[in-house]
Amino acid sequence: MGDILGIRGAPGAGKSTLVRKLVRYCSSVEVLTDPKRYRITGYRCTRPGLKTPLMVVGTYERDCGGADTVKDLQTLYWRVKTFARQGDVVLEGKLPSTLLTVWVELQRQADEGGHVLSVIDLAVSFEQCVKNLNLRREQRLKAPLQRTEGSWGHPMYKTYRALLSSEKQIRDSGITLETLPFEQALKRSRTILRLGGKDLGTELRTPGLF
């Protein structure tokens, strides 16, 4: 049985990037699919000497993914529970980042199954999140830039504030939550997931799968 690591953060904070960097410390990635629908449900990542596989929730066929690609919350809870029986689990996404109920339920499941739930909140400024999103749009979508001035009127600002306000609620619920800058979050995540060794450059993408 493994432990569970949740990554929280606003859109553009680097949640998917963090998961991709964690996978780089593994040497092989097995794509897990739903045998009935042939949809990607996650990934099993291993390397020589790694006692517990790294189980990644959701698909990363695009720039972003993770738990936001799971059909609904009940499926997400079931998938985390199932994956935790096979190895250490990492999950991230916009939806679980902003919902207290997700972490409360995952903590209940962890206690019931004998797992440890840890949550890391990416400490990234609102302005940097918007800049990161703009860069992504320029590179992939060729969409117009969003303005960064006047945070109060920005369409993403409400989500950002909701994320910040939920930190105390999560801690008050007895859930272990750490707020860290990206590089420190990566280092801490590797410690929690027991991902030692060097960066092997392993990628999550599986071109031509479909």
pLDDT given at position 207: 46
pLDDT (tens digit per residue) in 53-74: 999 999 988 777 899 889 899 9
Using pLDDT thresholds of 50, 70 and 90, give the confidence band for residue 209: very low
pLDDT (tens digit per residue) in 150-185: 555 577 888 888 888 888 899 999 999 999 999 999
pLDDT (tens digit per residue) in 23-43: 999 999 999 988 776 688 999
Residues 6+ apart with CB under 8 A from 123: 179, 180, 181, 185
Q: What is the mean pLDDT of residues 68-91?
A: 94
CA distance 44 to 30: 5
Residue 84 has pLDDT above 50, yes or no: yes
Residue 3 has pLDDT above 80, yes or no: yes
Domain ranges for the chain: 4-192
How many of the other CB atoms lie within 10 Å of CB of 120? Answer: 25
Q: What is the mean pLDDT of residues 4-24?
A: 94
CA distance 157 to 10: 9
What's the CATH number for 4-192? 3.40.50.300
Q: What is the mean pLDDT of residues 81-102?
A: 92
Q: Rounded to two decimals, what is the model's pTM?
A: 0.89
Among candidate residues 128, 120, 185, 121, the one with its CA nearest the CA of residue 156: 128
Higher pLDDT, 75 or 1: 75
pLDDT given at position 73: 93
| CB-based contact 32:41 (threshold 8 Å) | yes
CA distance 143 to 136: 9
Phi, psi of 127 (to 5 degrees): -60, -40
Higher pLDDT, 148 or 21: 21
pLDDT given at position 208: 42
Helices (H), the chain: 15-23, 73-84, 94-98, 100-113, 126-136, 157-172, 182-192
| The pair of three-digit structure tokens given for residue 125, joined into one six-digit string | 């400024």
pLDDT given at position 34: 82
